[in-house]
Each structure stands twice: as structure tokens, then as C-alpha cells.
Amino acid sequence: MTPFRVLISFIVVGIMGFAVIPLLSVDLNPREREPVLSISYGIPRSSPEIIEKLATSPLEGAFSQLSELKKINSISNYDRGSITLRFDKKADMELKRFEVLSLIRQIYPQLDSRLSYPTVSQSEQVRNTEKTPILTYSVNGPFAAFEIKKITEDVLKPALTRFEEVEEVTVRGATDLQLFITFDIQKLQSYGLTRGQLSSQINSAFGQNYPGAVLNNEGKMLFVKVDRSLQDMDQLENLPITQVDGKDIFLRDVAKLTLEEAEASSYFRINGNNSVTLTVFNRDGVNKVLLAKNLKTAIENAKVLLPAGFDVRLERDDTEFLEKELDKIYKRSGLSILILIVFIFLINRNLKYLSVLFLGIVINLSLCAIVLYFLKVDIHLYSLAGLTISFGLIVDNAIIMIDHLHKHKNRKVFVALLAASLTTIAALMIVFFLPEEDQKNLTEFSIVVSVMLGISLLIALVFTPAFYELLFKESAKKGRKLTIPKLRKRVNYLRRFENSISWTARYRKAFIIGLILLFGLPIFYLPASWEDQEWYNKSIGNTFYQEEIRPYVDKALGGSLRMFVRGVFEKSSYREAAKTRLYVSARLPFGNTLDQMDFIMREFEAYLKDVEGIDKFVTTVYSGQQGSIEITFKEAYETSALPYQLKGKLSVKSTDWSGAQWNIYGVGQGFYTGGGGEGIPSFRVTMKGYNFDELERQAEILAEKLLKHKRIQEVNTNERLSWGEQKTEEYVLRLDQNQIALGKTNQYQLINTMLDLSKPQGATGGLTLEDKNYGLVIREANSDDFSKFDLEQKGLIGGENRIYKISDFGTLTKETTTNALNKEDRQYIRAVAFEYMGSAKFGNEYLNEVLEEMEQIMPIGYTADKQTWSFSYEKAKRQYALIGLLIVGIFMICAVLFENLKQPLYIIAIIPISFIGLFLIFSLFDFYFDQGGYAAFVMLGGLAVNAGIFIVNDLNNRSTGNYNRNVLKSVAGKAIPILLTIMSTCFGLIPFLIEGQNEIFWFSLAIGTIGGLVFSMVGVFWALPVFLWKKEKLAVVTEGELKEKKVRRKRNWKFWKRKK
């Protein structure tokens, strides 16, 4: 194929790639993918213990027989419960869903009759319980709130739900109208009626039903529908309920009928203002930015259908921050490419050369978009990081290929390019062997860089030579000529370089020892004592060594590794890019009303209205037990001191409401301070066991042991799990069956009497009136005032000529209960947490001692494990094994390329040398290390060896002359393209340093990679030639030896052509 055809083919495919870009999923952070099935169910008016006993345990027992099941998690709450099944990633989820549904069908008839039929939902990721809506609108108009809500649901909601990417649309801020039937219990009882009879009479008299079907004379089946809908209120008031002495008793005789707004079950306000709000939730894995634009357009088009005077205002757009962050990343990536282009142009001052490189980047990007679309890779912070890093790599490959074409007029360097790229890909593939929790951010980063590298090889082999030949034509066939002064200058440089390398090679062992000490020996990890090893405790573990000698030995032998681990790594943490948000969460004990919680939230709202710098605060009062406020800040204040100051002030204000339990915390960039600053060490122990009461007793024993230490002030034995809640109290009525029998009544009558007099919990049914559906609420006139005293001490009218006093038949007591029962693999879970007022190291040691004591006294089957996010021996062992795997992989690739087993070792030695640069740049300048730093380690593992591969490959291609001189020629000959590739990668990362170390991921990635690459030049231009250097008597290759070597190699490779 001619160069012109190759060029056109790539351009056509490139255009197709750019057409695919809008179809890619866009988000700020990666999704946590995991095959998950969630089963939800409920039993009305049931405690967590009842839910767990009647539903959760039987269902868990049935599901535990499923194959490929990795973990079962369950939670039993008031009135409801859920079970989460996590399967192996290779499991067929459609088949698993079918199996779960089949098990539910088998077991459901045997379960409690009150249990709702369990629903099964399937998801490819773990759902976030606090999912943020993509858009929030407020709707106002010249009507009552319930009418505004109705119009919003009829006009705006359908305009949004037609989008497949929309998961849910909710309308809040108003309650629907309900039909209230308020009866007088004395009148009702005088006619011998109960509330249940009243309800059944109304339901049987009105509504719609389908008694069956009939066949017409044409043989067609017609369904019969009986419509007894209400036409007006009078029809309901004149409904006959019963007869007394031959006289009809109508509903109006015993009750009053009113249309009223339903009692609020929750409150939702923006900036303290009541309004009807429309919130939109997106499905996972969609392009949120594009979806938000389409939804806004749909709302604008639907506005014209609203009545006059309606105002629809966008209150919150969750994609604004995402769009700003992505725009920032796009601008940086563009600036990165621009810096690369300017740098390359300044070096070469040739527009044709620049065109080859720039068009190569564009084609590479478009082909990458196609591959990522078919691999279903999302575009987010970390995949964009992969793209940005890749710019330098693909330019590197192009520079090496063009330089080789210019000098040697062939593509033989491609084998070295392939090996160099494979080493980088091998380093990236290690991510897939990490534990699942560590793969979260780096998986798609690795995929993107690997794809870009793979495509860049295709570009370097086919596209770059074709485009180069088209542009340079005749000049491409001519060699470059150097003047005599330039040659003389090069010879002088080469002589000086030879003298320095030969001198260093003379003291090679000392040089290697110096490099090892500069990297560091991990002796600072040695423990202060080793149980049952007396020789160790008397030598390294003795007090004199530990206190007088060890500090100096650790510093002398620990090198840059000790500086990094002690000064940087141990203070590092995972950070996630997010808009700065402050959350205020309040909890009240059971028994408090919605209005009581709302009153507390309004107090905080009044305070927040006067704070300068707040953008919005969104209040949600979920119930009388739970309420929260989410506070966001104006852009200028996001990273200022305001979020911290406000958090402190709100914490102080919360002490005015000591009856509530408060949780005030912040997330996002405004709450990351960078390096330094350690808070009070907190510790958490997860306890598991098969008996809930015994587990609680063991938690109390653990707390007693911990509280013996003076630096531990308080231990929470029921710390909130990520999905759990604190324990609470409830009233329990225990009936005496003997007293009930003596009173000539039964349990059913007693409970019905209480239900008749108490406040109803929501609508008991529904009626259609004038083509509108209304909830039906039947209540006693004084039900709002019904109290515990009334229940226990007053006589309750129940049945004809019957008055009950509950205290005669049972006792009402307040008992402690749990608001949620959490289980994992059918074991109950309990979390114990405490803060240690002192060094985290000593707190950790004391906790280990206590846990060892607990292990001795706890019953079999009960465990207490410390939750740790720091160094773990098992985890470290796996990481070291993966590093070993990477080294073996690089060794094999280089051994195949070089046909040599010693040279790959020299290449591998460059990796730890480059790590010295990363250690030093973080340690000396006190930069913050986060997940971007881990990505820098992964990248350096592959990048650092590339330059060495090009040099050694070039050396092996030089078959005549002095060996040591050939080493120098190979290093000098590849010096310019290697320097160009390293500098282009470093310059490409400079834009990501502009925002400073508060910039999550990007700063650590950029500064770590730059530091490592710069120091890798020490390995490439000094250490590698020293390793390759031979003694003088071995360095000369004669013509005869060369011919013999060529013949031997020819025979080895062409064994199939030998004559017998």
C-alpha cells in the first residue's frame, strides 16, 4: 500500500473515532463495578428483631446455597429489610437473578403472611445510598401547594421520564389532598359499629371491580367492569351504614367528611424556602454532562405548557462542578499538548516534523476513543489522567521512529519500541492482580494507557513512516551531514564522557553500594521485639541499640526510602475529587415528631442564612428521628478557611440541642489540607458472632478493658456501620392471656380498640371523586391527643357495652432495641470505636494487647478484628510478589529482545534508581502523596526502562569495533531522542502542577513522574554504561571473531535449512 493510501485510511478511521466520543460515559469518579443482586421486603409495624426472625434469616438460609456467591450482607430495619448478594465477577447475573427469583417463589408460601413479596433488583455496581440528584428545580405558582405539585407531575415529570438515562424523577414539597372521615367513638359504639366496619362499608359501596368476563354473539370475550365511583360528597355522606330499629343510619350521622391536605411525612427546603421541588436522578454509566443539557432543554420546552404565573427555577446542577473539573482537565491536556508541540518545534524548527507528530497524536486519540467505546470504559478523572500521560508516551514513540528513519532509513527500531511499550504495559497490568479495593481508580487508568500505547505502536510502524515519506520525500533518503567543527566538538564530549565512565567502572562495586544506600535498606521496618526469639531481643531488640544506636543506623542505611516512608507515605491517604460540601446530620430518639425535628432544622437554617460565602443549603427532614442539611459554598470560598470555620461553629451550636445526636462532617477539596496535620487518632474494631445478645455482651467486655487506659475517655460499643444506625427505645405491650380470658375478651378486640382510638398511620384506602383519586383516612375525633396515659389508665370503649382498661390486661414498658440489625455471611456485626488521646503508634499497640486478651476469653465463633487502613503484612507480601512478577516480566521481554540473560538485569536496575527521584522529591519538598503517587510508581516501572532498552538494542546492532567505544556511541547516539522523550513527558505534565498540591491525584501523579524520570537519567547515562562496561582485554572484537559469531547466529536461526 502506498504512503498516500495509508494516510487517507488512518484519517477516515480517525473521523469515525471522533464521532464515537459523544457516546462515551462521562463522570468525575470511576464507578465501583461489582455484580450485585439486592432483595427488598417489608412487614408492616415490625421491629428489626421481628424482620430478622421472620424474613431475613429464612431468606438468607435459602440464598446461601447459591453457587459463585462471594458474600451475603443483610440489614433489618423497622418495617423493612434488605439482603445484598455479591457474586463472583465471572458469574452470569441473568442466571443468578433467575435462581434467586425461583428460590423466593419456593420459600414465600412458608413465610409470615404479612411479609410483602420480596423484590429483586440487579445492578453492576454497589449503589450509593446517598445518591445526589443530577438536577434540582423549584416550582412556584399562583395556586395551593398540592395543585402546583399535581401540575408539575402532569406536565414537567413526563417531559423528563421519557429519557432512558433518567433513573427517577421525584416531586416533593407538598402533600396530596386526602378525604378525612372523622368519627365520634361514642356515637359509633352507640350504634354497635367499629372503625373496621365503617371502612369495609365504604370500600364495598364505592370503587371499581372486575367480576369476570362474558362472551358476545360473535364469540369475543369481553371483560366486565363495575364502576361505582363517587360523583360528589353528598353521595358519600348519604351512604347507609347500618339499621337501628328499622331506621337507616347514614355516614353523616356518625362522622364528618372533609377534604384536607395529608399530613406531611417529610420536609424538603432549599435555602430555607418552602417550594415544590423537582429532583432528577440519573442512571449509572451515562454521560451526565450531555444528559443535563438535554434535560434542561426538555424543561424549557415543557414550560410553555404550564399555566400563566408559573416559575420554574434551576436550584442545583450537579454537573456544574463536573463540567468545571472536566473543562479544567481538558484545558490542561490541551496546554500539555501545546507545550509538547512548542518544545518539539523549538528543538527541530521544522513544521513538517511537527505535523507528523501532531497528526499522529490526533489519530491516536480518535482510534483510542473507538477502542474505549467497545471496552465500555468510562471517561472520568483517572481515565483522563491516562490519556494525558499517554501524550508524552506516544510522542516518545514517534520521536524515536522519526529519528531512526532520519539516521538509518529503516524501521528496525520498531522491535525496541515494541519491547519498551510491552514493559510499560506489563507494569500497568499489575493493577489487575491487586486486591479489588486497590483496583478502584487504577484499573481504567491502566486500560487507557495500555490502549494508547498499543495504538501508538501501530501509528509508529505504519502511519509515521508513511507520512514522513510523503512530507520529506527526497530529503528523507539523504543522510544528514555534520561540519568538521561539530564533529570535533562531539569527539571532545565523547572523550570526557568516556573518561568519567571508565573511572566509575574502575570502582564499580563502590558505585553500586552507593546507589543501594541512596535508595535505602528497609531496616527501619525491623520490630522492637520478636516474640519467642531471644537472640533477636538480646541483640537488635535490646534497649541500648533501640535508643542509642538505631536512630543513627536507620538514617544511615535507610536512605531515601526511609525519608519517604516516615515523612510522606505514613501521612498519606486516599482523596477523592468532589465539590466541597458540609453535612449536618441530626438524630432524635424514637417518639419525637416530624415537627420537632423540623423545628431544630429551622434553627440551623436561620443561622446559615446570615453566613457569607454559602451558595446553597438543602434541608431534608426525613422523619421525627432523622434530618440533615447539605451545605455547598461559592467557588471563591470552596478552598478557603470558611468550610472549616463553619464546621467548628456549627459543632458549637449543636451543643445547644444536647438531646439530639449530631454528626457534622465535610467532604471535597475544601476539606483536604495537603501534607502535615494529624488529627486525634481514632480506632475501630469490627466484632462478629452468631448470637446477637452474646455479641453485645462481648462488646461491653471489650469496652471495659479499653477504658482502663487513661488516654481513652469514651468507647462507643454500637458505632454506626456504613449502613447502620444507633440503638433506640420502644414501647412494648405484654398482654396477660389469663386476665384476657377472665375479662371475657380476646387479644384481637383489645388491639382493634386501640387502633380505633389511636392516630392512623396514613391512608387506609382510596376513593375516586370527580375523576380524581384521593387517599381515604378514617380517624377518631380525639385521636391526635391519644397518649400513653390514655392507653394505660383511661377506660377504652370497645364493642357494645364494653369498656376496657389496658392496665387490667397487660403492662406497657419502654425497652431498648436496635434500629438496625446488620449481618455479613449470616454473622451479626457490631462496631466498637474510640479515640486515643495521644500517639497513634501507642494507641495501636494498646489495642493489639487488648485484642489478644479478648481472643483468649471470647467464645468459639466470635471474632474481634481491628479495622486498619495502614501497613498490613499480608497485603505487603502480595505487593512485593507483584513487584517480583513485574521484574520477571520485564526480564523475559528484554531477554527475548537482546538474546542475552545479563543485559536485562542492567535494564531492571534503572527502575529502583528512578524511584529514588520520586522518594526525594516528595520527601525534600513535603508534597502530599495520594493515589496519584501510586499511579506514578506504576508508570515509572515501565517508563524508566524504555531509554535503557533503546541503548542496549542499539549496542547489540553495532557488531564491529571496540566494545566499550560502542557502549559510548550507543549512549551518545540515543542521547538526544532519549532526552527529548524524557523532557517531552515532563513538560507535558507541567500544567498539572499549576494548581498546587491541593489538586487531588493530578499533582501527585505529575510531580512523582517528573521526579522519577529526571533521576532515571542518572541510571540511563551513568549507571547503565558502568554496568555494561568491560575490562580492556575483553573489549575488542576482531574481524575473525565477528565472522565466526555471524555464522554461528545464522546457523542457530536457520536450523530448518540445514542439509542432512
DSSP 612-637: TTEEEEEEEE-SSSEEEEEEEE-GGG
Q: How is domain 135-176+265-317 classified at the architecture level of CATH?
A: 2-Layer Sandwich (3.30)
Residue 476 Cα to chain centre, angstroms:
52
632-670 b/e (C-beta count within 10 Å ≥ 16 → b): bbeeebbbeebbeebbeebeeebeeeeebbeebebebbb
Compute the chain's Rg from CA coordinates: 38
- The grid coordinates of residue 951 equal 541503548
Per-residue pLDDT tens for 698-723? 999 999 999 998 888 888 777 656 44
Q: Are 388 and 333 in contact (CB under 8 A)?
A: yes
Per-residue pLDDT tens for 550-609? 888 988 899 999 999 888 887 776 666 667 889 998 888 777 888 899 999 999 999 999
CATH (residue range 581-667): 3.30.70.1430
Mean pLDDT comparison of 103-112, 169-178, 324-333, 538-547, highest-scoring range: 103-112
pLDDT more than 90, % of the chain: 17
Q: Which amino acid is at 640?
A: S
Per-residue pLDDT tens for 192-205? 777 878 888 888 78
pLDDT more than 70, % of the chain: 88
What separation, in Å, do the N-terminal and C-terminal C-alpha atoms of the chain show? 40
Q: How far is 447 from 187, CA to CA, in rounded Å? A: 76
Q: Are 541 and 553 in contact (CB under 8 A)?
A: no
Distances (CA, A) of 575 to 234, 248, 642, 868, 1033: 65, 74, 20, 17, 57
Per-residue pLDDT tens for 268-277? 888 887 778 8
- The residue ranges of every structural domain in the chain are 33-125, 135-176+265-317, 323-518+873-1053, 520-567, 581-667, 682-727+821-866
Would you say the C-alpha torsion 304, 307, 309, 311 has a positive or negative sign?
Answer: negative
- Name the helix (H) or strand (E) containing 776: strand 772-780
Task: Give this prediction's pTM.
Answer: 0.63
Instruction: For domain 682-727+821-866, give the fold.
Output: Alpha-Beta Plaits (3.30.70)
Q: Which CATH superfamily is domain 33-125 in?
A: Multidrug efflux transporter AcrB pore domain (3.30.70.1430)
Structure confidence at residue 608 (pLDDT)? 93
As a whole number, the mean pLDDT across the chain is 81
Q: How far is 809 from 204, CA to CA, in rounded Å? A: 34
**CATH class of the region 323-518+873-1053:** mainly alpha
Residue 956: Cβ within 10 Å count: 16
The three-state secondary structure class of 920 is: helix
Of 543-552, 598-607, 961-970, 1042-1051, the least confident: 1042-1051
Would you say the C-alpha torsion 396, 402, 406, 407 has a positive or negative sign?
Answer: positive
* Phi-psi category of residue 186: left, alpha or beta, with phi > 0 → left and psi -120 to 50 → alpha: alpha
Same fold, 135-176+265-317 and 323-518+873-1053: no
| 374 phi and psi angles, rounded to 5 deg | -75, -25
108-147 b/e (C-beta count within 10 Å ≥ 16 → b): eeebeeebeebebeeeeeeeeeeeebbbbbbbbbeeebbe
Q: How far is 567 from 926, CA to CA, in rounded Å? A: 8
Residue 467: Cβ within 10 Å count: 25
Structure confidence at residue 297 (pLDDT)? 93
